[in-house]
Amino acid sequence: MKHKRLAAAVLAVALVLAGCGGAAAPAAPAGSGAASQSAADTAVQTAQKDRITEQFTLEKTVRDEYGITQKLTVHVPQLVCDSPDAAYLNDELAAMYAADFRQYEDSPEVEPQQDEWRPETYINWDAYWYGDCVSLVMFRYDGGSDPGYSRGWCFDFATEKQVSVTEMLQRMGLDPDAVQQQMLRGAMQTFDRHMAQGGYYEGLLSDGNLASMRLNTLENNQLDDLCLLLPEQNRLVLRGGCSSTAGSGWRQLDVEIPLQAADPQPQTVLTDTYGSASVQLEGTQGTITLRRTPETAAWDADYGIRLEQDRTYPILGLYNAYTDVCIGELGASFHPVVYLLTRDGVVEYVDVLHCLMFGSALVCQDPIYIANQGVALERSGKEVILHQEDGSVLELAPLTAEWNELELPSEVTGAFNDMANNQFDWMDVESGGYFQMGVQDNNVFYQGYADYLGVVPEGMVLGIFTNETPDGIPGITFVAAMKYDLHTNTLSLTMIDGPNPFEEGATQLQMIRCPDTWPQRVPLTAD
């Protein structure tokens, strides 16, 4: 039986005052059985139903051109509106969900034979109303083990224009930036929990696959790519997804967003101090403070890191809720590492000295998924141990060293060039971290190495260090978030720290991936 739910959310008074197109308060959800529903609400529901009809409906079992029996349940809506935006949206829906099945409209109904394999395609829609605005959500399931997937559009009948999810949230009186952060945190927490609990990370430690999956989770949960749902009174749900090791590599994720700001709750502040380093963590906001002491002053001679005075750094890449924090060391010299224990019992870390090798950006590394089921962190001598639920103890220093040695993600390896401003600049990154680039119209050639530091919404964070050139030009270091677009073969660089070597003063840059046969690539060596 056809499923079509027209849900109208009764939102809080503050939200009603900010309703779309100046409309009156939305009606109660259709089919809710609310005895108190007024005649006016019923009239609004009826008007809303008239605004959306179906442009294509097909429910039958057919035999395709390959002789395979298929069960088809296809319902494709259309907006009853004469505006150009409505026409464009209706055409888009038809092309995406109806075009492939029109050939079966006149096909005879077939009766599948006993035990005959019968793939199923299910396409349907839901409409969620806020005043004159509707959030139209399509759902498609093509059978098998892969999950179904959803896609959404928002439309304002008062203005007769398509609107974005961001605009819908603004009309509801919500802060899109705050909602975006809630969505990203929810998606990352779900992904990290799934990875740690399932043990799937063991087959993903090579080729930077873990980093790729975490970035995909961030990248594919941007507000305007999500579905907006109002399933019942005073409930707002945003539907996105997170990376998965199963099937299509993607799993649906629904994150509920509070419609009203909750009363501020006191945040637990987590702190720790060890040697010249201290950390403070409150929610997803954290800082690390380093004091200039003899042990940090020694970094100047040992690593070329000069700390002129005490300094506090924000921690980038925090997405989880945390219950414990502890600072330890890695190696023989003063090498502070800040360990964080998530609410789900998984260890994350910030390798402070490792990050400072490339500048002043301290980034939280991917979780050490093997260090899970934790209940507390404790410093034992110079190193940190994890107490686990079963009473066992796990040393974290060896795992940290192993995690630091993972290969760079494939999306940011290879050769890329920038030919803007009538110049030719390029860089080449290998999976093991060897790095080279030509800048200033290929007149200056640098060699060095690159390390993966973590992920932020702008991309995978790489720290780049280059040596002095044979001509005596000092080496350079910088930190950039890099995001690769497979469809355009472009790598977007967002500068986080240090000078942009390709375009002075620019904070963003796009480079094109070079073919594997690019003749100007120079073989890299460990030297």
Q: Are strands 269-274 and 508-513 parallel, antiparallel or unpaired?
A: unpaired
pLDDT of residue 10: 33
4-171 is classed CATH 3.40.47.10: no
| pLDDT score at 15 | 37
Given a contact cutoff of 8 angstroms between Cβ atoms, the answer to whether 408 and 429 are in contact is: yes
- The domain defined by 269-404 folds into Lipocalin (2.40.128)
**Could you tell me the CA-to-CA distances from 214 to 132, 182, 256, 320, 410 in Å, in that order?**
37, 16, 21, 13, 14
DSSP one-letter code for 408: P
* Helices 176-198 and 209-219, axial angle in degrees (round to 10): 150
Domain boundaries, the chain: 4-171, 176-257, 269-404, 410-513
Distance CA 244, CA 185 (A): 17
10-residue stretch averages of pLDDT, the chain, 527 residues long: 38 37 36 38 63 96 85 96 97 97 92 76 95 96 82 96 96 93 94 85 78 92 95 89 83 88 75 97 93 95 92 96 96 91 96 95 95 96 96 95 88 88 87 92 92 94 94 93 92 94 89 72 45
Looking at residue 318, its amino acid is: L
Cα–Cα distance measured from residue 29 to residue 229, given in angstroms and rounded to the nearest whole number: 12
CA–CA distance from 366 to each of 186, 191, 473 (Å)? Answer: 16, 11, 35
Q: For every residue of 25-39, which 3-state class applies, written as one string?
A: CCCCCCCCCCCCCCH
- CA gap 277, 312 in Å, rounded: 10
Structure tokens at 432: 């093991």
Q: Output the DSSP codes for 113-157.
A: PTT----EEEEEEEEEEETTEEEEEEEEE-SSSSPPEEEEEEEET
Q: Which strands make up the sheet holding 393-395, listed edge to edge?
A: 374-380, 383-388, 393-395
The pLDDT score that the predictor gives to residue 32 is: 32
Classify residue 432 as exposed, middle or buried by CB count within 10 Å of its CB (0-12, 13-18, 19+): middle
What count of other Cβ atoms lies within 10 Å of the Cβ of residue 170? 15
Q: pLDDT value at position 28?
A: 33
Q: What is the 3-state secondary structure (H, E, C) of 426-438?
A: EEEECCCCEEEEE
- The C-alpha atoms of residue 129 and residue 21 are separated, in whole angstroms, by 12
Burial (CB < 10 A; 0-12, 13-18, 19+), residue 29, is buried
